[in-house]
Amino acid sequence: MINLSYRFDQNSSSLQISGMPDVSNGDSENTIGILSSWSLKIIGSPLLEGEKEHLDNLMQVILKYSRSYISGIRKTFVSNKKIITISPFGMSHKLLLKSTKEGINPLEIILDDSELSDLTRCMDLLRFDPRFNIRWDINQERPFRKKYILNNQSNSNKNINFLYALIIFSFASTLLILFPTNDKYELQEFTNSSQTLSKPTE
């Protein structure tokens, strides 16, 4: 039986998929139709492994979150099985993974923009790779409506806009305190001297 393994490498992420052809489905000898294992290595984080169900859940939240983030929407996404969550974390992104085994604490991974981009790229390369004949359990992507984007952008930026306004107000107030104004003005009146001309008396 043929065992195949393909790997997708980006700067900070490396996703490896192993499996075999599904002969009953007519797969070629270079095609993975049956997934046997997968592993994901993110720099600075433990090695992630699991079954196809876990990979499906990971792809669900990463692809949805990245797509929304590109559109200016920062919100939390939870996988269908509720074992993986990704949410905004300051200027970064927090990936929370819950194990299906009892007694194992959830794993938190903090990603910056470049690491999120690398992870998303690995997922995209996998799902569009012709060497795989696997049906992934992810929702079909649909374009966001303009109203949806505007509503979510306004909600997500509401607190940020307030913070910016507060910072500007504080900065302006500080300037007024540090640089006192001179409220006394010296008024100088300039008068032109006039000469009186009189006719000479006869």
The yes-or-no verdict on residue 202 having pLDDT over 60 is no
Q: Which residue has the tokens 């910016």?
A: 164
The yes-or-no verdict on residue 189 having pLDDT over 60 is no
**125-130 LR contacts (CB < 8 Å, sep 24+):** 125/8, 126/8, 126/15, 126/17, 126/59, 127/59, 129/6, 129/8
**Would you state the pLDDT for residue 61?**
93
Q: Which residue has the tokens 């669900």?
A: 60
The yes-or-no verdict on residue 188 having pLDDT over 60 is no
**Would you state the pLDDT for residue 86?**
96
**Would you state the pLDDT for residue 137?**
86
The yes-or-no verdict on residue 199 having pLDDT over 80 is no
**Would you state the pLDDT for residue 103?**
81
The yes-or-no verdict on residue 187 having pLDDT over 70 is no
The yes-or-no verdict on residue 184 having pLDDT over 60 is no
**Would you state the pLDDT for residue 150?**
55
What's the whole-number mean pLDDT along residues 179-185?
A: 51
**pLDDT tier at 179 (50, 70, 90 boundaries)?**
low
Q: How far is CA 198 from CA 32, 114, 201, 202, in A?
A: 119, 92, 9, 12
Q: Which residue has the tokens 């195949």?
A: 4
Query: What are 41-78's pLDDT values in tens digits?
Result: 999 999 999 899 999 999 999 998 998 888 788 889 99
Instruction: Let me know: does 115 contact 13? Beta carbons within 8 Å.
Output: yes
